Amino acid sequence: MQPEELLAYIKNILLVLAKQNNIDLKNNKKLAVEKPKLEIYGDWSTNVALIYAKQFNVSAKNLADIFVKKMLDNEKIEKIDVAGPGFLNIILKRQARSSVVENILREKQNFGKSQFLKNENINLEFVSANPTGPIHIGGTRWAAVGDSLGNLLLSQGAKVIKEYYFNDHGAQIDNFVNSIIAKYYGTALQEDGYDGEYIKDLADKLMPELENRSKNEIYEQLKTKAVKLMFSQIKQSLQTFGTNFDIFFHENSLYKTGQVVKAVNELTARGFVYQKDSALWLKTSEFGDDKDRVLQKSTGEWTYFAADVAYYKNKRDRGFKTCVYMLGIDHHGYIKRLQAVAQAYGDTKENIKFLIGQFVNIIKDKKIIKLSKRAGNIITLDDLIKVVGVDAARYSLIRSSVNTPIDLDLDLITLHTNENPVYYVQYAYARCCNVMKNAYMLDKALSEKVLTKKADLSVLQKTVEKDLLTTLALYPAMLEASARSYEIHKVARYLEDLARKYHTFYSSLRILPNTKSEIQVEHIARLALNNATAQILKNALSLLGVSAPERM
């Protein structure tokens, strides 16, 4: 019996009790079935009595006792204790506890998938770095987190599009091109120009064949070629990193197709646009922004914000119910104004969602390195992959909440790559695979017994076995919670927990017998548990875009 089944059962009892007592039950989201911290508390615990005691107008302990009486009828439950202020600690019957292994082995890669987000149509926009330089470490965090989050939401039934907004319109492109020219001729860089090795590379690569052309021609040719080259480099880096976008959306297309004008016109019709100082403004302050924002400058040029407005409208017109923006902490000021845009179009705050990622600090010689494109000391995605590899890089960036700044110590990560927890998890998987292989070599029939579900799993009674079983049973609920809160790091943390439980199990018990003649029911059951663990490790790693090697 898995926790979600138990939870449904408890809710059912709750409804019956409420009806009997004529209580108009208020739904409480805090109701939960959890794995207790300590093993002696049982397999699962619930807080149902604690949070509903008030509504029933009895003490939590009394309500708990009522639940105990009802629940003991359930044939899957062995025992229930009331503990502490009113927790129900539930111990399952043997078969009920081990049934999760059968479920996993039956559903394989589909175990953990759900449809609870089936009505969601989500646009995930992330990275969206300007094509004026390689992807830096901040963008890298989103490349890992956004991609994995997309996988997760997809697995829970949502329709998901991963999208990259390509800023190919505006002054930064001019700066970029001028920087390359300046670099080539050794002239002074403009004030906010770009510098760095990659600018020199671009100059060396593109300039020689253009040298004899007119100034204007050099500029135009360079603009096309440099942006194209940079963009294909970015795409290549992302691909190497295992991040594949469904759509690369060009900012320029919003202008070419007149969508900016159209989007602003609609807002004008809705009465949220006004003219002041010969510029066009949007009344974002009406929806909680600090001040109104300019859409069109007095020069007649559109602002970057105007494109953002059109882009949001475009996303909604394409049918996305939820538009997710993943931004760096330095862009948190956008939240209010974009929320205002959504509301100005008559949408709600539900339609627009923000994930704000803290900085990734690069530590060298115990000090934070200040990175900037201008100074040319950026650490790129390619650098990171070269130093630590895709798996370790992705995992390091995923395993922390985006709300937490990450300090990546280059010295440490280079010297002790094996200490990245990703290897701990991968090693657990490799161990599982090795056991499977050995089992097959030992006795083909043994593997087949597991495969054909002839294993008696109820013999899994040791503490380390039960611990592993409940952790496996938690997998679907963990995925759902992770998807609900858009917190992919929960999946990584779960993996570490699962790997730990497996390593403990592995080293305290024999899974396979020494010789063929000694094969017993325990061995068959443990092999099934081993195989189920392998399946979950693989499923979860694949969500994170991290490989599951059969040997290391």
Q: Give, as one character, the DSSP assignment of residue 118.
A: T
User: What is the rounded CA–CA span in Å between residue 148 and residue 145?
Assistant: 5
- Nearer to RNA (CB atom), residue 163 or residue 465: 465
Please report how close the Cβ of residue 296 comes to RNA at its closest, in angstroms. Answer: 8
Please report how close the Cβ of residue 173 comes to RNA at its closest, in angstroms. Answer: 7
- Nearer to RNA (CB atom), residue 142 or residue 161: 142
As given in the structure block, the two tokens for residue 178 are 């001028």
- Nearer to RNA (CB atom), residue 204 or residue 290: 290
Q: CA-CA-CA-CA torsion for 25, 27, 33, 38, nearest 10 degrees?
A: -90
- Nearer to RNA (CB atom), residue 97 or residue 161: 97
Show Cβ contacts of residue 151 under 8 Å, excluding neighbours closer than 6 positions.
Answer: 542, 543, 544, 545
User: What is the rounded CA–CA span in Å between residue 342 and residue 414?
Assistant: 45
User: What is the rounded CA–CA span in Å between residue 359 and residue 331?
Assistant: 11
User: What is the rounded CA–CA span in Å between residue 524 and residue 280?
Assistant: 74
Starting at the earlier edge strand, list the strands of the sheet with 44-46.
Answer: 33-34, 44-46, 87-92, 77-83
Please report how close the Cβ of residue 416 comes to RNA at its closest, in angstroms. Answer: 6
Please report how close the Cβ of residue 16 comes to RNA at its closest, in angstroms. Answer: 22
- Nearer to RNA (CB atom), residue 47 or residue 535: 47
Please report how close the Cβ of residue 230 comes to RNA at its closest, in angstroms. Answer: 14
Please report how close the Cβ of residue 119 comes to RNA at its closest, in angstroms. Answer: 22
Please report how close the Cβ of residue 150 comes to RNA at its closest, in angstroms. Answer: 20
- Nearer to RNA (CB atom), residue 208 or residue 405: 405
Got the DSSP string for 186-217? TPPPPTT---SHHHHHHHHHHSGGGTTS-HHH
Strand pairing class (406-409; 360-364): parallel
- Nearer to RNA (CB atom), residue 34 or residue 78: 34
- Residue 28's SS3 state is coil
The one-letter code for the residue type at 543 is L
- Nearer to RNA (CB atom), residue 223 or residue 297: 297
As given in the structure block, the two tokens for residue 269 are 């019709």
User: What is the rounded CA–CA span in Å between residue 406 and residue 207?
Assistant: 39
Please report how close the Cβ of residue 402 comes to RNA at its closest, in angstroms. Answer: 8
Do residues 355 and 486 lie in contact, with contact meaning Cβ atoms separated by under 8 Å? yes
User: What is the rounded CA–CA span in Å between residue 359 and residue 368?
Assistant: 11
